[in-house]
Amino acid sequence: MTKALSLIFFLVLITSSIFSQDPLIANVYNRNTTSLNGDWKYIIDPYENGYYNYRYEPFDQQESPWASAFFLNSKPKNPADLIEYDFDQMEDIQVPGDWNSQDPRLLYYEGTLWYKKSFNYTSNDAASRAFLYFEASNYKTEVYLNGRKLGTHIGGFTPFNFEITDIIKEKDNFLIVKVDNKRLKEGIPTLNTDWWNYGGLTRDVKLIETAPNFIQDYFIQLDQNDNKKIKGYVKLNGNDIAEKQVRILIPELDINEAYKTDNEGHITLDIHHDNIEYWSVDKPKLYDVSIQSSESKTTDQIGFRTIRTEGTEILLNDKPIYLKGISIHEESPISGGRGHSQEDAEQLLTWAQELGCNYVRLAHYPHNEHMVRLADKKGILVWEENPVYWTISWDNKDTYQNAENQLSELIERDKNRASVIIWSMANETPNVPARNIFLTKLSEYTRAKDDTRLISAALEQKDYNGNPLVRTIEDPYAEVVDILSFNQYIGWYDGLPEKCETISWKIEQDKPVLISEFGAGAKHGLHGDKNARWTEEYQEDLYIKTLAMLDNIENIQGISPWILIDFRSPRRVLPKIQDGWNRKGLMSEDGNRKKAFYVLQKYYEKK
């Protein structure tokens, strides 16, 4: 092969793989993995000198990249060599974890940071395959192992993986990851948000070892139209997956069913059982489920329940339920910064339960998997949200594809979680034609991928027939969703709390209503007159008046006030009050309860 042809071949390989990752492996949570968490070396690279040459050409798209390409981890071979970086002499950073809360220089940093991890690897079986799995990395992530590019992932809150079977070695592997958290107009989310842009490898990084032909994916849920039937599918991955036996076992139900895969390694399951104990908020029953093939086995803990709407009611297992909720951002109440640990999830959900919640809205992006796994065990219903937020590039095809991919990865990860009942498409988006097309297409995609859950979005209210004292939802997308959810801030952004006593609601859609947000800011420990903003008394009074107002909405079936605890936001700059924190929490960032916490707690006790 000539040098010119060799270069063309190399560039074709790079171009075809640069924006792809391997099909997601399901249930990594319960698989045998090797953690790559801990100390990693890091280099701050705001000009991206380790990625581009001086002509602004990416090193990883060149046949012979310079030694200054950081992903090569180059070392001088003699004293005359010019290499202007050395990972091994750099400081350590903890993975998982955002960089903003670990290095004071990086508190507001938006740009590129390079990570490096050295490790050895011993396979349990010479025939096995190896995969590298990231639970999340914000925002654009480019991954290199032993100097070879694995691929690129875009999106800050969902998992992705790459096969590394032919690249990984027994000794002296070096994994280098370029993470860039710059906000982008065409991104999901876009430039303008009301939360902290935590950058980095914010969740676990793992090695997965599998059989040559393994169980890659499965979906096992109760048929929403027949609560005596468990349905779903299993998908094998490998070169020898046709006409293979796959067995589904649920010992507690005496289920032991065998199936044969088709030529694509796929089976469709359809199991009838008369005595299924249904998962509920009062008794969150989980069954041990085992999926087995001749070479592979995976187990999960799955609850079976139905969720649907009928008129203005939400029905869990065919019984009406009122969603007593709270909104939550993914910030750690233990260590600060982006939350990621099981301890973080346990604390946040315990506080929600102490508040009286049977439901949480995980805003405004997919949270870590511990949250939904614990919600399964605790009997807490969950709203999960795609980060389509405020105003994005509705006409940009790549932006839509990005939103669809992030939503797909979320569904792939959590589609077997009984607690998850709502996929939310967006938050506070403008009622314009391009947005309506965008969100409708996203909803159609979601229903085709998972028909066992409800679809919603946090919409915005408006005056009814021009009357500012009567509010309504006038939005074409309201006809698409299963649950009509909207945010309202009467008494905070719209007048004072007394205004709640003058407002009524006219909801014309025959659908259940959720108030996805309401609230007011208060600095914990700041007391004064109930008409003085930022005092706990103002927030307390607003909650009292808002709850009375919302009770008059005929269709109302739940609320998720904004928000459980104070969270960081660069938008919030008022000195001595906000200081970079959104103060609408019912608790301060260090876990102290404000007076409004007890107002909502008492309200939920009566529901």
- Residue 370's domain is classified under what CATH number? 3.20.20.80
Of the residues 184, 210, 236, the one at which a domain ends: 210
134, 203 contact by CB (below 8 A):
yes
| Alpha-carbon separation of residue 395 from 288, 388, 391, 400, 530 (angstroms) | 45, 14, 11, 8, 45
Tally Cβ neighbours within 10 Å of residue 68.
18
Of residues 507, 453, 506, 462, the one with CA closest to residue 484 = 507
Of the residues 259, 274, 308, the one at which a domain ends: 308
- Residue 251's domain is classified under what CATH number? 2.60.40.10
238, 213 contact by CB (below 8 A):
yes
Report pLDDT digits (tens) over 496-555: 999 999 999 999 999 999 999 999 999 999 999 999 999 999 999 999 999 999 999 999
DSSP, res 517: E
Q: Looking at residues 556-579, what average pLDDT do you find?
A: 97
Q: Is the preceding omega at residue 284 within 30 degrees of 0, hence cis?
A: no
- Given this model, what pLDDT does residue 126 score? 83
Beta strands in 317-358 (DSSP E): 319-320, 323-328
Structure tokens at 56: 């602004």
Query: Could you tell me the residue range of the domain that residue 148 belongs to?
Result: 3-210
- Given this model, what pLDDT does residue 20 score? 52
DSSP, res 277: P
Phi first, then psi: what are they for 142, rounded to 5°?
-120, 130
* 201 and 240 fall within a common domain: no
The residue assigned the tokens 């233990």 is 334
Structure tokens at 163: 């096969």
Report pLDDT digits (tens) over 449-483: 999 999 999 999 999 999 999 999 999 999 999 99
564, 348 contact by CB (below 8 A):
yes
Evaluate if residue 396 carries a pLDDT over 60. Answer: yes
DSSP-assigned beta bridge partners for residue 315: 308, 320
Evaluate if residue 4 carries a pLDDT over 80. Answer: no
- Residue 126's domain is classified under what CATH number? 2.60.120.260
User: What is the pairing mode between strands 129-134 and 214-223?
Assistant: unpaired
Residue 254 burial (10 A CB sphere; 0-12, 13-18, 19+): exposed
DSSP-assigned beta bridge partners for residue 344: none
Evaluate if residue 231 carries a pLDDT over 60. Answer: yes
CA distance 91 to 89: 7
* 78 and 118 fall within a common domain: yes
371, 399 contact by CB (below 8 A):
no
Report how many domains make up the chain: 3
Tally Cβ neighbours within 10 Å of residue 287.
20
**Strand order through the sheet with 245-250:** 255-260, 245-250, 287-293, 297-302
* 273 and 340 fall within a common domain: no
* 122 and 179 fall within a common domain: yes
DSSP, res 522: B
* 367 and 279 fall within a common domain: no
- Given this model, what pLDDT does residue 206 score? 98
- Average confidence score pLDDT of the chain: 95
Structure tokens at 2: 């000539």
85 contact partners, CB below 8 Å, separation of at least 6 = 43, 50, 68, 70
Three-class DSSP category at 594: coil
Evaluate if residue 17 carries a pLDDT over 60. Answer: no
Report pLDDT digits (tens) over 40-49: 999 999 999 9
Report pLDDT digits (tens) over 400-419: 999 999 999 999 999 999 99
Structure tokens at 38: 């801990």
Structure tokens at 514: 């959720």
What residue type is assigned to position 347 of the chain?
A: Q
Tell me the percentage of the chain whose pLDDT exceeds 70.
Answer: 97
481 contact partners, CB below 8 Å, separation of at least 6 = 425, 443, 455, 456, 457, 511
Lowest mean pLDDT among 52-61, 147-156, 426-435: 52-61
DSSP, res 338: B
The residue assigned the tokens 């090797």 is 34
What's the pLDDT band for 12 if we cut at 50, 70, 90?
very low
297, 291 contact by CB (below 8 A):
yes
Evaluate if residue 13 carries a pLDDT over 70. Answer: no
- Given this model, what pLDDT does residue 304 score? 98
Of the residues 155, 188, 210, the one at which a domain ends: 210
Beta strands in 461-575 (DSSP E): 462-464, 467-472, 484-487, 504-505, 513-517, 556-559, 567-568
* 299 and 328 fall within a common domain: no
Evaluate if residue 9 carries a pLDDT over 60. Answer: no
* 199 and 246 fall within a common domain: no
* 381 and 418 fall within a common domain: yes
189 contact partners, CB below 8 Å, separation of at least 6 = 183, 364, 365, 387, 388, 389, 390, 392
Three-class DSSP category at 169: coil
Q: Residue 219: which H helix or E strand, with range?
A: strand 214-223
* 183 and 234 fall within a common domain: no
* 188 and 234 fall within a common domain: no
- Given this model, what pLDDT does residue 487 score? 97
The residue assigned the tokens 């979601």 is 446
| Alpha-carbon separation of residue 347 from 11, 228, 305, 350 (angstroms) | 49, 36, 26, 5
Lowest mean pLDDT among 19-33, 152-166, 216-230: 19-33
Q: Looking at residues 287-298, what average pLDDT do you find?
A: 97
CA distance 385 to 122: 39
* 204 and 246 fall within a common domain: no
Report pLDDT digits (tens) over 65-108: 888 899 999 999 999 999 999 999 999 999 999 999 999 999 99
* 29 and 173 fall within a common domain: yes
Tell me the percentage of the chain whose pLDDT exceeds 90.
Answer: 94
